[in-house]
A = this chain, B = another copy of it.
Amino acid sequence: MKIEERLKDLGITLPEVARPVASYTPAVLSGAYVFVSGQLPLVGGRLKFEGRVGREVSVDEARECARIAILNGLAAVRNVVGSLDKIKHIVRVTGYVRSGEDFKDHPRVLNGASDLLVEVFGDAGVHARSAVGSSGLPLGAPVEVEMIVEVQA
């Protein structure tokens, strides 16, 4: 795969990785896996949208949040292994959608992340996924997305 080239062709620039001010880190390499911390839809250090999906934030806006969050996650992976070309497979994605009792469209929201992964990685981007609702998320974010990625040893 020439994923770094493909990113350029798609006109996608990964964001800078902000090191969290805490005892944890955006991504950890362990064996053949990179475990990525829960990513928020931060652009330049600020939430792109804030609020509950289905109320203050629309499903389309939340889809965009999922896409931004997964781009932040890919940036964290690159920061740890040097290049996205080292990724063998996107293994699992878990997405949390801040939403109320009656919200049912979590999968549509998470497609913002899943579709981006397949757009960039093709078959190697097809992953296992869980999409769930959350009563609230850090900073008031509408979406949080984490993932596990298999990389070349």
Interface residues of A (CB under 8 A from B): 20, 22-28, 30-32, 35-38, 52, 89, 91-94, 96-107, 111, 114-115, 117-118, 125-140, 144, 146, 148, 150
Contacts and interface: CB of A to CB of B under 8 A. Distances in A.
Contacts of A99: 135-136
A64 to B, nearest CB: 16
B22 A128 contact: no
Given A135-B100, A135-B101, A144-B130, A114 B22 contact: yes
B127 A25 contact: yes
Contacts of A132: 38, 96, 134, 137-138, 144
22 contacts: A22-B107, A22-B114, A22-B115, A22-B129, A23-B115, A23-B118, A23-B126, A24-B93, A24-B126, A24-B127, A25-B127, A26-B128, A27-B128, A28-B128, A31-B32, A35-B148, A38-B130, A38-B132, A100-B135, A101-B136, A107-B138, A135-B135
Contact of A140 (B31, B35, B94, B104): B104
Nearest to A55: B101
Nearest to A27: B128
A100 to B, nearest CB: 6
A150 B30 contact: yes
Given A24-B126, A35-B128, A100 B133 contact: no
